[in-house]
Structure 1
Amino acid sequence: MNHVKALVIKFVMIAAVLGIILAGIFDFAFSDTLVISLVLTLLAYVVGDLGIFQNTGARAEQDKRNIIATLSDVLLAAIVIYFMGLSFAENSESIVAAAVVSAVVIGLGEWFFHKYIDKQVFEATDAPRNTQRDY
Structure 2
Amino acid sequence: MTLNPRKYFIRDMVNKPTPFDVWLQGTIEQNVGNDILIISDTFGRAKITKCETADGVIDKASLQKGKYCCILGTAVSTKGLPEVQACKFVDLSSQPDMKEAWEYEVRESNLLFEGKIKTLV
TM-score (norm 2): 0.30
Greater helix percent: which structure? 1
TM-score (norm 1): 0.28
Larger-Rg structure: 1
